[in-house]
């Protein structure tokens, strides 16, 4: 997998990179959101049209609190460039983020709470199946507007899509948060 990471703590960034590269992933690390967005733009511009790839990275991992540009603004800019980009936040400020910021995202967003066990980070990044199920679920939820399902019914659908996930991750599908 191709992974872009924005993490302002060099020790944490080095650990992420080391453990992911040991799993044969191609990892690009940036120290803040501004550099991350520029790297994303450059990589997006280099995509070969004949490869049919929609995104330059399989996942973008963003710290929420960073200098120059925080993770929330970074994610917004990346999603403006490419709404199908998979985003995963990692932060020690998960509760604040879920309350204050998640409502602004209409995409599927994963949120990990620091400190993160490296094995959990790897498992979540490599679990494309859960993300694809959530993507299909998002489409079904949009189609369910006519039926007007209850919040518990929607939660049940999301729970079934994420039943194999580790308990350290929350997902937002529209304005609904599960974890």
Q: Which of 104-108, 117-121, 135-139 has the lowest mean pLDDT?
A: 135-139
* Residue 31 belongs to domain with CATH number: 3.40.50.2300
Is 173 inside a domain boundary? yes
More confident residue, 114 or 29: 29
Give ∠ CA 82-115-156 in degrees, rounded to 5: 60
Q: Which residues constitute the domain of residue 80?
A: 2-128+166-178
Assess if residue 69 is contained within a domain.
Answer: yes
Per the domain annotation, does 81 fall within a domain?
yes
pTM of the model: 0.70
Of 128 and 25, the one with more pLDDT: 25
Angle between helices 71-81 and 33-45 (to 10 degrees): 20
- State yes or no: pLDDT of 174 exceeds 60: no
Distances 63 to 12, 90, 177, 179 between C-alpha atoms, Å? 10, 5, 19, 19
Tell me whether residue 94 is in a domain: yes
Number of domains the chain is built from:
1
Continuous H helices in 23-127: 33-45, 71-81, 94-100, 118-126
Q: What is the pLDDT of residues 37-81, one digit of tens each?
A: 999 999 998 887 766 678 899 999 999 889 889 888 999 999 999
């Amino acid at each position: 997998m191709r992974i872009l990471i924005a993490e302002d703590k060099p020790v944490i960034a080095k650990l992420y990179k080391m453990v992911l590269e040991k799993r044969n992933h191609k990892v690009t690390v940036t120290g803040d959101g501004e550099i991350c967005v520029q790297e994303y733009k450059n990589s997006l511009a280099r995509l070969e049209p004949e490869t049919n790839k929609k995104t330059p990275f399989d996942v973008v991992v963003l710290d929420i609190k960073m200098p120059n540009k925080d993770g929330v603004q970074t994610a917004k800019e990346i999603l403006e460039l490419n709404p199908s980009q998979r985003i995963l936040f990692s932060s020690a400020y998960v509760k604040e983020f879920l309350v204050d910021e998640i409502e602004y995202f209409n995409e599927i967003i994963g949120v990990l709470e620091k400190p993160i066990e490296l094995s959990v980070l790897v498992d979540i990044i490599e679990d494309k199946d859960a993300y694809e199920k959530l993507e299909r679920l998002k489409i079904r939820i949009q189609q369910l507007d006519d039926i007007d399902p209850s919040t518990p019914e929607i939660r049940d659908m999301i729970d079934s899509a994420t039943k194999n996930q580790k308990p350290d991750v929350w997902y937002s599908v529209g304005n609904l948060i599960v974890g």
